Structure 1
Amino acid sequence: MMMSDDDDDDDDDDDDDGGGGGGGIDLTKSRMLTFSKTYKSSRFMEATTMTDNVFDFKSQPRASSASDSGGSEDGNEGDTDQLTPLTICTDLPNNMSPNPPRTPKSPKIGSSLKKRHRAPGSHKPEGTRVLHTHGRRTLYTAGRPPWYNKEGQLKNAFVIGLCGGSASGKTTVARKIIEYLDVPWVSLLSMDSFYKVLNEEQHKRAEANEYDFDHPDAFDFDLVISTLKRLKEGKSVNVPIYNFATHSREKQMKTIYGANVVIFEGIMAFANPELLKVMDMKVFVDTDSDICLARRLRRDIAERGRDPQGVLKQYMKFVKPSFEHYIEPYMQSADIIVPKGGENDVAINLIVLHVHNQLQARGFKLRNKQAQASHNGQPMPDTLHILEKTPQINGIHSFIRDKNTSRDEFIFYSKRLMRLLFENALSMLPFKDTVVETPQGIFYDGRKTSVKRIVGVSILRAGETMEQALCEVCKDVSVGKILIQTNMDTGEPELHYIRLPKDIKDQYIFLLDATVATGAAAMMAIRVLLDHDVPEEKIFLCSLLMAESGVQTVAYAFPKVKIVTTAVDKEVNDKFHILPGIGNFGDRYFGTDFAE
């Protein structure tokens, strides 16, 4: 579940394809499922102006995210505030395949459907979905299931607020909740990221251990509230990176995606009434003050190079009084109080049980609902634009639908059809009048598009086949990529990878997918774009072939999205394949057909 959106200051990190936001992974300690291993096409690395929103595994942490008030509470934790919503876990077993399960093939007409068996090593063992954070984060990737209903509307995430004194064990409790939940896509957001920027005088006080980091005025509550609200809505957020070595925010920001569960922890997590309204569950971590002091001494001396006298001075002057005045009184706001912090497995299990019940109550089975939805007799939506059915178009379709067409011819005629598709889509962009002078000195009244920039976003893998045709008809087009795969156990689409150009919210988007059957993958991709604040009316879904059910599903959920295709077939079978269709487009295009 999947961190910067923009490339302004992150170009060095953008070349490292990774996961739903994240970074700082020690690749020598774990075998990671990276997208670059799965798809070896160099096209995934070509866009230097794009960022790795999902699996930024290779970049090192830029700064400590452990605060003077919280952070690494056991002395061996660190940087957990920037955990990615794409979950979470650890060393993969030796027999695990680095490749994802194959996309299901379309059956041959007239052939009996054979029972599909999972390839060896394609199942993630139950025991692997665990979070480990020892200075550097180690994650394995898990696809994010739908976070919206069949109408395309967002489901709110379940937000857990963790409050407690400095070094009370908040991060340990958060880590154990994530571990015991065993669900994909959990976001962990730390209040340590939201310290205010210090001025020169405050910098001097901080260097002398005279600045109170444990006071409510030290935090930017407006930014905290707006960030947590967007995460609850399932949208992406830009989170500051606070460097405690320099007591300042870095230029770069991390993008964190919304998730099924959002855990927000901080010493002042309950100090603002607006924050409390956002939380679905409020947990107070209560640990003996002697233990907190011992942890803080060990952490600050070992990790931050501070002397014992300075640590004790700061603790007695700021930390302990702040706990008594601003933190302990809010214990009454908690739904659950966890004594002894991370050692209290009974309390943590109760929290996990309640969260599981809440998640089950919010769950949806989208693909089956979409496939079973009755659209018989429903007129095609006004947003559907089908390429005019000329003899040339029929002839090209005859080539690409014919099972005996060679791969070379299939690619050639598919590209011809793609170019015609994009020319048709371009005619729907806004145009304005213009006058030009011809070489003969005569003025010509013409038209000129008012769109400054077009971005193509391909839904992998079949959508990638359309990128070349788009680049041939659109000059200087930017290209992004979204990987959505079907979970072979649940049949639901899952988001695995995102790579989008910066400032995408200001552009017109051509969303590319070779075929659209139920519309489940297209809906998820559109939802991703909307979560990046792209206006719905600026999205064009471009596909060579669509099923009627897919058209109706997308149009019903997103009535302002323009749907552009060359043909619409009537049926989708119980395996979610279009009939009569063109088979598995990706297999036929890339030459990966195999005998059943």
Structure 2
Amino acid sequence: MAAGFLQSSLGEVWMSRIMHGGGEGSLDRLLPSVSTGLSPRKRTTSQCKSEPPLLRTSKRTIYTAGRPPWYNEHGTQSKEAFVIGLCGGSASGKTTVARKIIEALDVPWVVLLSMDSFYKVLSPEQQAMAASNDYNFDHPDAFDFDLLTHTLRKLKQGKSVKIPVYDFTTHGRQKDWKTVYGASVIIFEGIMAFADKELLQLLDMKIFVDTDSDIRLVRRLRRDITERGRDIEGVIKQYNKFVKPAFEQYIEPTMRLADIVVPRGGGNMVAIDLIVQHVHSQLEERELSVRAALASAHQAQPFPQTLSVLESTPQVRGMHTIIRNKETSRDEFIFYSKRLMRLLIERALSFLPSQVHIVQTPQGEDYEGKTFHGKRITGVSILRAGETMEPALRAVCKDVRIGKILIQTNQDTGEPELHYLRLPKDISEDHVILMDCTVSTGAAAMMAVRVLLDHDVQEDKILLVSLLMAEMGVHSVAYAFPQVKIITTAVDKKVNDLFHIIPGIGNFGDRYFGTDAPPDWSDEDMDEPSY
């Protein structure tokens, strides 16, 4: 191993934490005292073992290795994200180390959170001081620790968060904040990453990047001049007046809190490999098996009151007869599916809150009617089959906003995995119509509901609509989320060992889009969308 790097045994590396008591004066919040201790098309996939699990397009990046469940069969959060704290002096190579760890981990859903985003908003006087390089950005008081702690805690809990975007040329926050969601691993880096008691409690691993002061000065000169529009005199003045003293007073002492000290930053692959091994072991310990639990739970129960099944009129039953028939042509399958979808969406809308609204007719008479009593209606489709229901929703809801969630079954584990989502802004106050064409075990539907809840959508404002459900799926969703309204056109009794609905409808997406299903298809297998 590199000289001066870690103790000799791996156990000591991870368990030994050299701590010391709290400081004084402005160090009150620093260094907390811690005790020791139409013609058929073939399916395609972007999954490739020799390539990174990413599908890049001109506008977005889609993970092809999805995020496994982060909740149990009860729908509640059962594991938190693993948080790595990276501390070190300015320009010590923290971001480089973070990116090397991300590359070596080779797992999706890793979030890099920089402390630089959480500088406080400066007053006009402080703005003037910053312009003349007389404001101390390397002091703990320069950071908004309250917002930072709140954000990191929510992100660790699996919630959606908004991150401020700090502009170093204007010394202020930009108007638009960045939305971040869905982390299995969070890498949090900053010069004061270990400087707050509450922050330290959120860190599962603490790493200090130790780099020679001369190297840090050269890097800071290069960065601030080329990226932040500073002049060389101002950078050196700021370094001597604030950066160097702050490192000695606030940052260097926190090295004692680190589980690992990494000399030479991103070039130290021995340290990075060791870190990656530990993170992988932690992720393996946190793996969950949701679908298996659903198969054995909540069955033989009466249907929940939140379930609404479309009345089985001769018309509805006739349409089911056509779309369930394996001999039905694709054109007829699409036509009668669309008819059912329209009826289903209209039924779902009847469960939205309404209020009395009086209007005057052309005859001059009052008419007591109803209007929607809510902020907005948003549709969210579970790709790909759920996307076929969007036209029916748009036909009856003018200007409805649409979001998309891509969930696929991992063929090795049998678990649903979240690959991609795009939700409208400020969805938290909306009534959401969640659309999927078939629900067998309910695993994919549960994941989609959990995503909405993580974005602060209220549970009683979610309506799950599906053309066909199995009893298992109904019970699973209702048990985990008892306030979610479930609307469907029919409920079938069984799910076989391959999670196919029996008697079922076949693979809806393949029959609708004209693709060929693989031999081991599942009703809840979702393909990538066509963009």
Whether the TM-score (by the shorter chain) exceeds 0.5 is yes
Alignment partner for residue 565 of structure 1, among 451, 463, 488?
Answer: 488
- Give a deviation string over 1:78-118, Cα, whole Å, max 9, x none: xxxxxxxxxxxxxxxxxxxxxx994xxxxxxxxxxxxxxxx
Query: 1:497 aligns to what SS in structure 2?
Result: strand
- Give a deviation string over 1:542-595, Cα, whole Å, max 9, x none: 000001111111111111111100101112222222111111112222233479
Query: 1:364 aligns to what SS in structure 2?
Result: coil
Query: 1:501 aligns to what SS in structure 2?
Result: coil
Structure 2: runs of 5 or more not aligned: 1-40, 520-531
8 Å contact kept, 1:101–1:122: no
How far apart, in 2, do the equivalents of 1:327 and 1:557 lie? 45
8 Å contact kept, 1:232–1:258: no
2:291 is aligned with 1:367: yes
RMSD: 2.5
2:67 is aligned with 1:144: yes
8 Å contact kept, 1:147–1:259: no
2:459 is aligned with 1:536: yes
Query: What percentage of aligned pairs have identical amino acids?
Result: 68
- Give a deviation string over 1:21-59, Cα, whole Å, max 9, x none: xxxxxxxxxxxxxxxxxxxxxxxxxxxxxxxxxxxxxxx
Quick one: which amino acid aligns to residue 216 of structure 1?
P
- The 5-angstrom pairing of residues 407-486 of structure 1 reads 407-438=330-361, 443-486=366-409
How far apart, in 2, do the equivalents of 1:431 and 1:307 lie? 61
How far apart, in 2, do the equivalents of 1:198 and 1:350 lie? 40
2:194 is aligned with 1:244: no
How far apart, in 2, do the equivalents of 1:305 and 1:466 lie? 51
2:142 is aligned with 1:218: yes
* 1:580 match: 503
Structure 1: runs of 5 or more not aligned: 1-99, 103-118, 131-136
Q: Using structure 2 for the length normalisation, give the TM-score.
A: 0.83
Deviates more, 1:231-240 or 1:408-417: 408-417
8 Å contact kept, 2:493–2:502: yes
Change (3 A) 1:335 1:505: same
- The 5-angstrom pairing of residues 126-525 of structure 1 reads 126=50, 128=52, 141-142=63-64, 143-154=66-77, 155-304=79-228, 306-370=230-294, 372-438=295-361, 443-525=366-448
Query: 1:385 aligns to what SS in structure 2?
Result: strand
- The 5-angstrom pairing of residues 8-19 of structure 1 reads none
- Offset at residue 458 of structure 1 (A): 0.9
- Offset at residue 306 of structure 1 (A): 4.1
Change (3 A) 1:101 1:562: farther
8 Å contact kept, 2:453–2:459: yes
Change (3 A) 1:581 1:199: same
Q: Using structure 1 for the length normalisation, give the TM-score.
A: 0.75
8 Å contact kept, 2:406–2:419: yes
- Give a deviation string over 1:445-501, Cα, whole Å, max 9, x none: 544432342111111111111111122222332222222222333332222222222
Query: 1:252 aligns to what SS in structure 2?
Result: coil
Query: 2:186 aligns to what SS in structure 1?
Result: strand
Change (3 A) 1:595 1:164: closer
* 1:549 match: 472
- The 5-angstrom pairing of residues 115-130 of structure 1 reads 122-126=46-50, 128=52
- Offset at residue 406 of structure 1 (A): 2.0
How far apart, in 2, do the equivalents of 1:101 and 1:484 lie? 19
Quick one: which amino acid aligns to residue 213 of structure 1?
F
Change (3 A) 1:126 1:589: closer
Query: 1:268 aligns to what SS in structure 2?
Result: coil
